[in-house]
Amino acid sequence: MTENSFPKLHNAMWPGLVGKGEDEPPISLDAMLDMTQAAEVDGVKFDGVDLFLADPHTSIDADDDTIKALADNVGARGLEIGSAVAPVWPPVGGGSAMDPGDGRTAFLEAVRKSCHIMGRLRDLGVRHGGVIRVDTATGVEEWAADPAGNTAVMAETLRQACDIAADHGEKLAAEGEICWGGMHSWQHMVELLEAVDRPGVMGFQADMAHTMLYALGYNAPEHALITADELADQDKLDAALKTISDALRPYTNDFHVAQNDGTVHGSGSHDKTGRHCMATDANGKLDITKHAGFWLNNPDGTPTKAMRHICWDGCMFPNKVLETQGTWNDILAAMIKVRVAHGWN
């Protein structure tokens, strides 16, 4: 169905954990792997998975036997491992990047342990590329109390995280999401990346659901490029998304294909952010294939080839959706279209 072999197509495992609460129990890693492995569209399957390094999926304190068992489990399914989410948030053992004391210590320890795990998976032959994803682990309201000062503290934390990553031969990606202070608008995200100033180590993780919310200016109305009432105007939406992708594409080293209906959503302990919708959602505002190209292609239309794989993020989908095999076939079909349109060999 596709003559392009890159980018590889990965499925995120963290939707089985993130946003789950008492009414939505976690979905095991094996169950998420089973559904990923079973997905198929016209003979094309997922190439790999991206991980969340937190219990009950993969403990950040995993010993070598556990890491090897993980590599064997994923590899035996014909899948590879790409990127991973470092557990930098306080609820999973991390700390705020805005806290120069214990918060920074916990944040950096989460990055250090993540680099170790992902490096071992590379050594074991099941990982061939990818990044470690971080955010600021701080709310927008706290950041807003002193934007310049707090951004400076965050930048120092991230610079130290870059030192750790570089020592392990890894790269980091900052998660552009409206719920994270200092990363909650496209302009503030650029400012933070400029303040960190570690090209080649610290990059940007663009998620189509989140970057569309950037355009709407949620949590940063002063940086809005389009109103909710204008989302149906494809020319205006295209112009807004082009402005954002032009600003952040030079930093982008991780990419999530996603759909968004123009609303925010939160569940469990996760604050409200860009709603991830089904690939086939009739209310979706994005032209997934076209708008993915804004991030994957240079201004002249040639592929940036900035990442070996792309990932689908179904974060905070209800369990009944996640546990339906057809969900993953629809997602895979959408990703194949992206690779056909914007991929390479």
Rounded CA-CA distance 342/337 in Å is 9
The β-bridge relationship of strands 252-257 and 270-274 is: unpaired
Q: At a CB cut-off of 8 Å and minimum separation 6, what does 267 contact?
A: 19, 20, 21, 24, 316
- Token representation of residue 2: 């596709």
Contact 192, 183 (CB under 8 A): yes
Q: For the chain, how many residues are written?
A: 345
* Domains of the chain from N-terminus onward: 8-342 (3.20.20.150)
Contact 184, 178 (CB under 8 A): yes
Measure Cα distances from 287 to 76, 238, 281, 319, 338 in Å: 35, 10, 11, 25, 11
Residue in 31, 26, 33, 97 with CA at minimum distance from that of residue 55 = 26
Rounded CA-CA distance 290/273 in Å is 23
Contact 333, 155 (CB under 8 A): no
Low-confidence ranges of the chain (pLDDT < 50): 1, 265-267, 269
> What is the predicted pLDDT for the residue at 1?
46
Rounded CA-CA distance 106/47 in Å is 33
> What is the predicted pLDDT for the residue at 24?
85
Rounded CA-CA distance 312/316 in Å is 13
> What is the predicted pLDDT for the residue at 154?
98
270: helix, coil or strand?
strand
Contact 13, 50 (CB under 8 A): yes
Residue 129 DSSP code: S
Contact 303, 241 (CB under 8 A): no
Measure Cα distances from 42 to 2, 174, 185, 212, 345 in Å: 10, 34, 39, 30, 20
